[in-house]
Structure 1
Amino acid sequence: MSNHHWRTWVLIIFVIFAAIFNLSQSDPDSHHFRKKILMKEKVRRMFYHAYDNYMKYAFPHDELKPLTKTFTDSLSELGNLRLEHLPQNYNGSALTLIESLSSLLILGNNTEFERGVSWLSENLSFDVDARVNLFECNIRVLGGLVSAHMLAIDSRNRFSQGTYKNELLILAEDLGRRLLPAFGTPTGLPYAWINLKYGVMANETTETSTSCSGSLILEMGALSRLTGDPQFEDAALRALRKLWSLRSSMNLLGTTVDVVSGKWIEYSSGIGAGVDSFYEYLVKAYILFGKEEYWRMFQSAYVAVQKYFRHGPWYHEADMRTGHATYWQLTSLQAFWPGLQVLVGDIAAANSSHREFVKVWERFGVLPERYLLDHQMLHPTEKYYPLRPELAESTFYLYQATKDPWYLEVGESITDSLNLYTKVDGGFASVRDVSTMVLEDHQHSFFLSETCKYLYLLYDDSFLVDQNYVFTTEGHPLPVLSAWQDRLPEVYTSANYTFIQRRASAMSLQICPAMTSSTSREVDEKHESACHICDTRRDHRCLTDEDCGVDATTCRRRSCSIAGFCGLWLYL
């Protein structure tokens, strides 16, 4: 072939490939598909960099110290800010492995999941002299075991036939029984601390948080349903009911309370640390168990939050007794709130707050633990970022609800920041100071159970096909089962999703029950809002029916009364 002909064919081939490339670039669906594949693999590599280094340098201890490539037995330190009463002979409970099990399955690694389950079945024991935080132990260890058990017995996960004998459920039940003595108080509110071997210690502090008392129902309720022993769910429900009875006339709760007297210790409250998962578990318990009581609590609490905490897209803190603002600050834990709003259908409000959190992330490169809104500056002492998942979590929920590709870009920004600022040779390290990006020698277990998981699900949600899940506050998936339901619209438990054009899951179906005869457009309208409060008026009054949204219980549009209140108030 002459040089002329050779150059001609090269030019033709080049033109053809250029045309194909340009065509694919002009197709936004194709672009997003390629983006998802690339980002999925980037997140996968991120997870395994963290997981493999943990297994190499820290397992079977609790968590990895990535800078020194050593370990910490941190289960007894979680929530223990003063590091008091630390155990002498505690050598860890493989905390990060427990937290990683469901993530391994979501990433499709059945082999490593099965290997981890086998090791825990043969080696893990809770008969240890270790004082642990009830809340942290419940959401991380008990929740991790219960979730992994339910995934292990699911035939779709292809666990080797006959090799699993409910060992994780046996461990979970043993742990649950060791946590029960914490509830032995006059009020039913549990102690914040419990010794796994000896129960409540002498002279134990009687102070606990709203989250600790009000965020136990998912894990302990699931344990009761799986074992047939009601005492776990009964204890958690009694604590939740008692906590709710202590609310103010404005339906606000404080941050800390005395478990013996039932008196509030800290009256200032918000949607962040110490309170956040209380709101989260009311919604998710309703989805998981179908008990109307949870939804009624949430409706009242949610409207109170919107009325007394909300200021534009932000949520400040306020005194539960007066509703007057106390602290004007962003805390990183608040970033879970948009995800919760997606579950109840307030998509517009969720998007508004989420975008503000994204702006702060972009300003610093990560999300600082506390940012003073009134001074537009970092908190002088809480400048750290411990690899928290909440912004990734809300991004995942919003993308599931809207399919807006902008959220894929946010996820890419989060992933790139984590790799740029926190990835080290030995894993991923927390940021000690976001203004200097100086690192801290700690890789928290929730980085694998939540941060990596939500980022992965953002780009590959195939795990959610054909099954609704509720994710606990620690990111552990619990399947929504019809056998567990008191009474919940069939849309949450039925496998027939023909009334929705795309794949459905608990991430995309709001509490407002859809009618199977509805068109896709009508479903979207009915999912518009669950507890809408007019965004544009500071006095929260409505002007027209359009301000009032849709009632979550009946799916009927609410009307604006002559007095200027939406029909929702009739239900409170």
Structure 2
Amino acid sequence: MLPHMCLKWVLLLLLISISVLDVYSSDENHVWATKKRRMREKVRRMFYHAYDNYMNHAFPHDELKPLTKTFTDSLSELGNLRLEHLPHDYNGSALTLIESLSSLVIMGNNTEFERAIIWLSENLKFNVDARINLFECNIRVLGGLVSAHILATDSTNRLVQGAYKNQLLILAEDLGKRLLPAFDTPTGLPYAWINLKYGVMENETTETSTSGCGSLILEMGALSRLTGNPRFESAALHALRKLWSMRSSLNLFGTTLDVVTGEWIEHSSGIGAGVDSFYEYLFKAHIVFGKEEFWRMFHSAYVAVQKYFRHGPWYHEADMRTGKATYWQLTSLQAFWPGLQVLVGDVAAANSSHREFFYVWEKFGVLPERYLLDHQMLHPTEKYYPLRPELAESTFHLYQATKDPWYIEVGESIVNSLNLYTKVEGGFASIRDVTTMQHEDHQHSFFLAETCKYLYLLFDDSFLVNQNYIFTTEGHPIPVLSAWHERLPEAYIPTNWTFVKKEKLVRQASAMSMQVCPANTLDTGGSGSQHVKSACHVADARSNHRCLSDEDCGVDSTNCRRRSCSMAGYCGLWLSI
């Protein structure tokens, strides 16, 4: 009888323990839900502090100067470091308002969204004598208009019936046509600069960046799909293919090139400024348009990055021809990379790099523009922080993939730092020097388009429920639509698309919700399988990942299997996917 009685007591104690754990888990979930609501409202207040000050002191000019409560017509200055060929009669294009459109929708302010659409449709004109940067205008203005048009015409009936008659799409098409002359070069690679009224200026510089000619396909491709005019997508695709043909034997790309000769100017490259969004758009274009070509490009490029740039959790720069390291430095734009890795399925590597970026953020209070890894010190001249969104972006993606509450704490820290160091009476100001937190009189439009948006979505992702969106490099949502696909990645098929035949699909891409790793083989079209390196090949060093359930543990990047939560609350056991 004694063993039987002992067993009864053990079972009773086990039931009590399970009940206590259930209560504890329920209480903890309530605490986190309360914190997320509180932080969501804090981010909402941040956005409207920036937005209202822009509308009161700068609109309809491009961007707000929050310290003096004035404005700058900065569309002609973006990327123009020497401030050359500035227009005399340009009075702005309401840049910050355009950048804010999708953020207004995500925060549920359909009334202001409609007001903005009506104003833009009646007042915005692109027939202006202004020389602008093709890349910046594409991702900010064209992307903002295309995304907002899609949001205005989706099935949610956000607008008063009859209030919207494709005005934003009409504006976007007009702008797109004004950008097309930039592609009229011997190589098909576009000029970096174009005058919106007169086209390419005489004696225009032929130098551009890899990002500048390789990060146009999402916005211009979407414009073609929406208007039925193939010229936009064709021009962007031709430039992308030409750029791809210029890769080195190591599958690496330089930073700057000549659009006339097709020769590289700067051979040192990395994942930061000048190249960053090129990698991002290869993979995102595969998701949005379903072209196998984009996947093959990205896969080769991603493996090369991991092979030649990665050093532990960091990514240095290297010569595209030899793969030898050139510059050992962190740049703030690199902080987008963990977010991209989440989309690929390389969650463990994303977490590893993200923690290092956040460590630097905590060290200085914000993320400096350039940090010298080999000397563990700030770059002597690039000590600024212009309200960049990349760390918030990656934090959002990692939380979506893992549901690890630690990322909520990271987001809270970012919000608190922004309010402590960058909030001023007239909006939010850039930081000129992170060692002194001296302000600079500039509130960039991407603060509303991206920084506030990603922080808001981190704490409230209701906009994404039952929706599949890919965010452009400027944070503008583009939906994943079956009508736009040659072949849709399996992970992005909504359950209600019953007409899609899954057996014809290749399981390569990964959605944040599905966490599917890329395949270890690529289909060669009937001639068998060609074995290649998997993008999921970085060992998971995070052995101390606390968890409450298997869902908290995500996917191991080494073997593409789901991780399980042990009884002790750690992710360390493996289950087949």
Bin for the TM-score computed over the shorter chain: 0.7 to 0.9
Distance 1:173 1:333 in 2: 30
Contact map agreement 1:530 1:549 (CA 8 A) in 2: no
1:229 maps to 2:229 = yes
Q: Which amino acid aligns with 1:257?
A: L
Alignment match, 1:368: 368
Q: Which amino acid aligns with 1:454?
A: Y
Distance 1:530 1:508 in 2: 20
**1:159 CA drift (Å):** 1.2
Please, what is the CA RMSD of the aligned residues? 2.1
Distance 2:157 2:324 in 1: 51
SS of equivalent residue, structure 1 residue 301:
helix
CA 513–352 in structure 1, closer or farther in 2 if over 3 Å, else same? closer
Alignment match, 1:293: 293
**1:25 CA drift (Å):** 9.4
CA 506–111 in structure 1, closer or farther in 2 if over 3 Å, else same? farther
Alignment match, 1:549: 559
Alignment match, 1:543: none
Alignment match, 1:563: none
Q: Deviation string for 1:334-365 (max 9, x for gaps)?
A: 00000000000000000000000000000000
Alignment match, 1:410: 410
Distance 1:511 1:95 in 2: 37
Distance 1:483 1:353 in 2: 36
Alignment match, 1:135: 135
Alignment match, 2:470: 470
**1:512 CA drift (Å):** 4.4
1:533 maps to 2:537 = yes
Q: Deviation string for 1:208-244 (max 9, x for gaps)?
A: 0000010000000000000000010000000000000
Distance 1:372 1:513 in 2: 33
SS of equivalent residue, structure 2 residue 156:
helix
Alignment match, 1:569: none
Q: What is the correspondence of 1:158-173 to structure 2 with a 5 Å cutoff?
A: 158-173=158-173
Query: How many pairs does the alignment contain?
Result: 503
Alignment match, 1:217: 217
CA 461–157 in structure 1, closer or farther in 2 if over 3 Å, else same? farther
SS of equivalent residue, structure 2 residue 198:
coil
Q: Which amino acid aligns with 1:375?
A: H
Q: What is the correspondence of 1:384-533 to structure 2 with a 5 Å cutoff?
A: 384-496=384-496, 506-510=511-515, 512=517, 531-533=535-537
**1:507 CA drift (Å):** 3.7
Percent identity, aligned pairs only, is 81
Alignment match, 2:245: 245
Where in structure 2 are there 5+ consecutive unaligned residues? 1-22, 499-509, 520-532, 542-555, 562-577
1:117 maps to 2:117 = yes
Where in structure 1 are there 5+ consecutive unaligned residues? 1-22, 499-504, 515-528, 538-545, 552-572
Q: Deviation string for 1:151-196 (max 9, x for gaps)?
A: 0001214211111000000000000000000000000100000000
Distance 1:548 1:414 in 2: 30
Alignment match, 1:319: 319
Q: Which amino acid aligns with 1:381?
A: T
Contact map agreement 2:372 2:379 (CA 8 A) in 1: yes
Q: Deviation string for 1:500-548 (max 9, x for gaps)?
A: xxxxx9543456489xxxxxxxxxxxxxx950234499xxxxxxxx995
Contact map agreement 2:348 2:538 (CA 8 A) in 1: no
**1:28 CA drift (Å):** 1.3
Distance 1:246 1:511 in 2: 31
- Normalised TM-score (structure 2): 0.85
Alignment match, 1:349: 349
Contact map agreement 1:43 1:415 (CA 8 A) in 2: yes
Q: Which amino acid aligns with 1:235?
A: A
CA 469–26 in structure 1, closer or farther in 2 if over 3 Å, else same? closer
Distance 1:149 1:511 in 2: 31
Distance 1:421 1:158 in 2: 36
**1:26 CA drift (Å):** 7.1
Contact map agreement 1:76 1:130 (CA 8 A) in 2: yes
- Normalised TM-score (structure 1): 0.85
Alignment match, 1:199: 199
Alignment match, 2:565: none
Q: Which amino acid aligns with 1:248?
A: S
Q: Which amino acid aligns with 2:537?
A: I
Contact map agreement 1:343 1:511 (CA 8 A) in 2: no
CA 309–233 in structure 1, closer or farther in 2 if over 3 Å, else same? same
Contact map agreement 2:344 2:518 (CA 8 A) in 1: no
Contact map agreement 2:272 2:331 (CA 8 A) in 1: yes
SS of equivalent residue, structure 1 residue 432:
strand
CA 129–317 in structure 1, closer or farther in 2 if over 3 Å, else same? same
